[in-house]
Amino acid sequence: MSRLSSLLRLDAKLAWEHKLVHVTVVVAAVFGALLRFAVPAEFGPDLGEFGLDIEGLDALAETTAAWASVTVLEPGASKPPVNQLLVAVLYALDLCILGFMFGSVMVLQDKEHGTVRYFRVSPGTGFDYVASKLLVNLGLSLLNFTILTGFAAPLALLEPALWLLIVLVCAGMTLVGMSLSMFLRNIAQWFFPMIVVSTLLALPTYLIVVQTPALAWTWWLPSYHILFGAEAIMFEGAATAPALAALAYAAVFCALTTLTCVPAVRGRLLREAR
């Protein structure tokens, strides 16, 4: 326990010194303030000015009515405010990607400074190493979540299921970032994989605008579940099927990434030669 608390203090200090805390606070505050003060709750009745062809959609509905039936699931449902809907989008983009990036950067910095070499000849274990970085990163993610949500949708902070979803997905993304960095030497090598992962994580947000089956596979991505899970928790309730599915996915994702990351750290980063 003393080993873990010692590493925890160290990683927290490094997060502060490398300005990860500052970046988290600024990014969350800027996005939160934008949603709160600059983005309207509704885009107005004339959606056509935002590029949507309403008349075309009506015409399509009339032609398809001949061969397809349309069921309205929740006739009385109101549209969620756009600025609050975008909070869930930012969870997918900002929280997911920052968790991944910070997890990678923490390990790559240890590699570049050679400090991981010193750790290898100390009694510290792979579990200590992963746990301390994970906890610090979770702290940053929750700080980000609190500030962003506090600005844009403060009432959502009262929803425990949302906290749980954020913790599970951010923990999983941190572990993915750490696992990936085991196979890379430095931040220069990491740059291209980072672009690929970030782009992939951003894809489910496209589904908010266009519901296309071509992106159905994005269901496998954690950003999909943080996006639609958060949306479900915030606007439909934590006990609904989409919210529970997202929480279940997040729990499995977190468990799988833990099972992958700890052995990767032991077997690759801290490999003890015997």
Partner 1 sequence: MLEVDKLTYTYRGAEAPAVREVSFRIETGQIFGFLGPSGAGKTTVQQVMTRLLELQGGEVRYDQRPLAELGRSFFAEIGVSFEHPNLFPRLTGRENLDAFMGLYPKPHLDPVELMERVGLGDALDKKAEDYSKGMKQRLVFVRALLHRPKYLFFDEPSSGLDPATARVVMAIIREQKQRGATILLTTHDMLVADKLADTIAFLHDGVIAASDTPRALKLMHGERAVRVEHRQNGVLTSETLFLDDDDDREYLASLMANGEIETLHSQEATLDSIFVKLTGKELAA
Taking the C-alpha atoms of residue 155 and residue 158, their distance in angstroms, rounded to an integer, is 6
Residues 63 and 230: their CA atoms lie apart, in Å, by: 35
Q: Which is nearer to partner 1, 79 or 113 (CB)?
A: 113
Asked if residue 233 lies in contact with residue 243, where contact means CB atoms within 8 angstroms, the answer is yes
Which lies closer to partner 1 via its Cβ, residue 34 or residue 116? 116
Among candidate residues 179, 227, 171, 235, the one with its CA nearest the CA of residue 203 = 227
Q: How far is the CB of 3 from partner 1 (least distance, A)?
A: 5
Task: Provide the token pair at 198.
Answer: 């970030």
Question: Integer distance in angstroms from the first to the last C-alpha of the chain?
Answer: 26
Q: Kindly state the smallest distance separating residue 18's Cβ from partner 1, in Å.
A: 7
The CB-of-263 to partner 1 minimum distance in angstroms stands at 15
Q: Which is nearer to partner 1, 133 or 225 (CB)?
A: 133
Tell me how far, at minimum, the Cβ of 128 lies from partner 1, in Å.
8
* Nearest residue (CB) to partner 1, 160 versus 263: 263
How far is it, in rounded angstroms, from Cα 117 to Cα 50? Answer: 55
- 128 or 231: whose CB is closer to partner 1? 128
Question: Which residues make up the interface to partner 1 (CB under 8 A)?
Answer: 2-3, 5-7, 9-10, 13-14, 17-18, 113-115, 117-125, 128, 272-274
In the complex, the smallest distance separating the C-beta of residue 14 from partner 1, rounded to whole angstroms, is 7
**What own/partner pairs with CB < 8 Å and gap ≥ 24 does 69-73 have?**
none
